[in-house]
Amino acid sequence: MRDLTEKVVEYRSNNADPTGTTPTEKDFATVRLEIFGPDGEPLGETSGAGRMLFKQEHDGHFVAYFGEEIRLRDGNVIRAGGLVDDARLTAGEAATFPAVVVAGPLRGAIGFRWFRPVAKETHDTYESAIVVYR
Residues of the domain holding 129: 4-133
Could you write out the DSSP letters of every residue in 78-126? EEEEEEEEHHHHHTT--EEEEEEEEESTTTT-EEEEEEEES-TTT--EE
Number of domains into which the chain is organized: 1
CA separation for the pair 94, 88 (Å, rounded): 8
> Residue 92: which CATH number?
2.40.480.10
Beta bridge partners of 95: 115
Q: What is the mean pLDDT of residues 48-74?
A: 96
CA separation for the pair 34, 14 (Å, rounded): 22
More confident: 96 or 90:
96
Render pLDDT for 5-38 as a digit per residue (tens, 0 to 9): 999 999 999 988 767 678 888 899 999 999 999 9
More confident: 121 or 72:
72
Mean pLDDT of all residues in the chain?
Answer: 93
**In angstroms, what is the C-alpha Rg of the chain?**
15
How many angstroms separate the Cα of 113 from the Cα of each of 17, 24, 63, 81, 133? 26, 25, 18, 8, 12
pLDDT of 85: 94
